[in-house]
Amino acid sequence: MELESLQYAEEMNESQLREIMNIYGEDVWHYIYYLTKNTGQADDLAQEVFIKCYYRICTYRGESSFKAWLLTIARNTVFTYRKSRFYRTSLWGGVQPLVAGTEEQELPLEQLGTTRSAEMEYLGNSQAQDIWAVIMALPDKYREVLVLDLKYGLTIKEIAGMAGLPQGTVKSRLHRARQKVQSKLRGAE
């Protein structure tokens, strides 16, 4: 499916929605999880994002990538939920560990036809979990821009547009977030 065909579309059909969910479902869920730190809320809010996408496709103008448009809907949905009375009166759970196997990585050894030993696999997964634990412990304003940059590969311009911030602010938050992660990882060594 070509996402450009959805630019200025008045409506989408069910098969287009399913394809969008297949392509971007994990990205939207993970982004919401990074914002909420709660798997249950990520499940519920991700569904809401795709419902909004279905009914509001006419607002997609192609000014940014389709992924950035969807992640903007996700961000706004999370912030709207946080403002709701239900959220303010409920207890906010702690950080839940990332589910094993959610981070897909291509490894040079596997590309060469060599498989990693169980020890190498464990150490690699352990190190990745340590890094994500540090990222998840960052304040919201740093965590959000770092995740959008590292995980989703959005440009500074796209992040600034999503967050409603000047590009300079995004650059400085990215720099500070990277510094905080590096200092915490160095302190853990």
Q: What is the pLDDT of residue 117?
A: 53
pTM above 0.85, yes or no: no
Tell me which of 57, 91, 125 is where a domain ends. Answer: 91
Q: Count of domains in the chain?
A: 2
The answer to whether residue 100 is domain-embedded is no
Q: Which two tokens stand for residue 41?
A: 């809320």
* pLDDT at residue 81 in the model: 85
pLDDT score at 64: 84
Domain end among 40, 58, 91: 91
Per-residue DSSP letters for 83-148? Answer: HSHHHHHSPPP-PPPPPTT-S----HHHHTTPPPPHHHHHHHHHHHHHHHHHHHTS-HHHHHHHHH
- The answer to whether residues 86 and 134 belong to one domain is no
- pLDDT-derived band of residue 2, with 50, 70 and 90 as boundaries? low
CA distances from 182 to 36, 169, 178, 187 (A): 23, 20, 6, 8
For 115-172, the pLDDT digits (tens) are 455 555 555 556 677 777 888 889 989 998 988 888 888 899 999 998 899 999 999 9
Question: Is pLDDT of 108 > 50?
Answer: no
Domain extent, residue 23, equals 1-91
Q: Is the pLDDT of residue 111 over 50?
A: no
**Assigned domain for 108 exists:** no
Based on the domain organization, do 81 and 120 belong to the same domain?
Answer: no
How distant, in Å, are the alpha carbons of 32, 75, 99, 145, 185 from that of 177? Answer: 19, 19, 23, 8, 12
143 vs 4 pLDDT, higher one = 143
Same domain, 73 and 122: no
Find tokens 């995740």 and name the residue: 147
Looking at the structure, tell me whether residues 43 and 77 fall in a common domain.
yes
Q: Is the domain of 55 the same as that of 122?
A: no
For 85-106, write each residue's pLDDT tens digit. Answer: 555 544 433 333 334 344 433 4
Question: In angstroms, rounded to a whole number, what is the distance separating the alpha carbons of residues 76 and 167?
Answer: 19
**Cβ neighbours of residue 13 closer than 8 Å, sequence gap 6 or more:** none
pLDDT of 109: 42
Residue type, 90: S
The CATH number given to whatever domain includes residue 141 is 1.10.10.10
Residue 11 has pLDDT above 70, yes or no: yes
Range 130-133, long-range pairs (CB < 8 A, 24+ positions): 130/185, 130/188, 131/181, 131/185, 132/98, 132/103, 133/95
Residue 118's pLDDT is 59
Q: Tell me what the mean pLDDT of segment 63-77 comes to.
A: 91
pLDDT on residue 134: 87
For the segment 22-69, what is each residue's pLDDT rounded down to a tens digit?
A: 999 999 999 999 888 889 999 999 999 999 999 888 888 888 889 999
- Residue 164, CB half-sphere, CA atoms under 13 Å: how many? 5
Six token digits for residue 175: 């720099």
- Residues 150, 86 share a domain: no
CATH number at residue 30: 1.10.1740.10
Whether 110 maps to a domain, the answer reads no
Q: What is the spatial distance between Cα 45 and Cα 32, in angstroms, rounded to a whole number?
A: 7
> Residue 97 falls within a domain, yes or no?
no
